[in-house]
């Protein structure tokens, strides 16, 4: 069950909502000589991309959001009104290619399955441009989002996730970027794997 809040604990909205700029995080990879950047999603700017990405079979097999553009606009509008979640777009060399939903786990549906505490975080990830799929880019994106989350809030000690238990490809990448699968559980729409990445282990095992 979820941990009760201390009486003097004040819940703040996600700090992502308070950022004055769309540019949230940037990293230059010296191996592939590419610039990776995380920006806030802008519905008007990114809706066409979001619609195209989600209507690709390799994406909707797991996301199940192969919907019309108007339906996806409503989906994003609902997200942007939530204080605990921030939809983001990942860029490589100024080209948008990935999508992230970064959230506070305490307020998310995952909370009762992971005994979420107030500063636990989580995220969903997809790479929408096929030319950027592959081990190096995928594992690097996972490491970068972990780094972004941990550096954004020093009190965050754990990142959790709930990918589909049969998404073997993603689970393999996650295991190579600091995540450990702790159990499986059932949502109404899927069998999920609970994954966890702890701050101390992540920075012990990985250097950016």
Which candidate in 77, 101, 129, 162 is catalytic?
162
Question: Which one-letter DSSP state was computed for residue 164?
Answer: B
Q: Residue 180 CB: number of other CB atoms within 10 A?
A: 12
Neighbour order of strands in the sheet with 23-29: 23-29, 34-40, 85-92, 95-104, 121-127, 158-161, 191-198, 179-186
Answer for the pair 86, 108: CB distance below 8 angstroms, yes or no: no
pLDDT digits (tens, 9 = 90+) for 51-95: 999 999 999 999 999 999 999 999 999 999 998 999 999 999 999
CATH number belonging to domain 23-205: 3.40.630.30
**Catalytic site residue 44?**
no
pLDDT truncated to tens, each residue of the chain (208 aa)?
333 334 344 445 455 655 556 899 999 999 889 999 999 999 999 999 999 999 999 999 999 999 999 999 999 999 999 989 999 999 999 999 999 999 999 999 999 999 999 999 999 999 999 999 989 999 999 999 999 999 999 999 999 999 999 999 999 999 999 999 999 999 988 999 999 999 999 999 998 8
């Amino acid at each position: 069950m979820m941990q009760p809040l201390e009486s003097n604990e004040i819940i703040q909205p996600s700090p992502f909502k308070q950022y004055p700029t769309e540019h949230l995080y940037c990293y230059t990879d010296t191996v592939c000589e590419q610039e990776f950047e995380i920006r806030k999603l802008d519905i008007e700017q990114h809706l066409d991309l979001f619609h195209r990405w989600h209507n690709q079979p390799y994406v909707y097999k797991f996301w199940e959001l192969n919907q019309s553009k108007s339906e996806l606009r409503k989906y994003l509008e609902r997200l942007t009104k939530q204080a605990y979640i921030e939809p983001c777009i990942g860029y490589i060399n100024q080209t948008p290619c990935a999508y992230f939903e970064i959230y506070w786990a305490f307020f998310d549906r995952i909370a009762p399955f992971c005994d979420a505490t107030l500063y636990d975080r989580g995220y969903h990830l997809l790479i929408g441009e096929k030319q950027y799929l592959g081990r190096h880019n995928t594992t690097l994106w996972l490491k970068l989002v972990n780094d972004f989350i941990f550096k954004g809030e020093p009190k965050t000690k754990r990142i959790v996730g709930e990918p589909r238990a049969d998404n073997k490809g993603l689970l393999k990448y996650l295991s190579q970027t600091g995540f450990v699968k702790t159990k499986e559980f059932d949502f109404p729409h899927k069998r999920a794997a609970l994954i966890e990445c702890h701050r101390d282990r992540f920075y012990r095992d990985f250097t950016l």
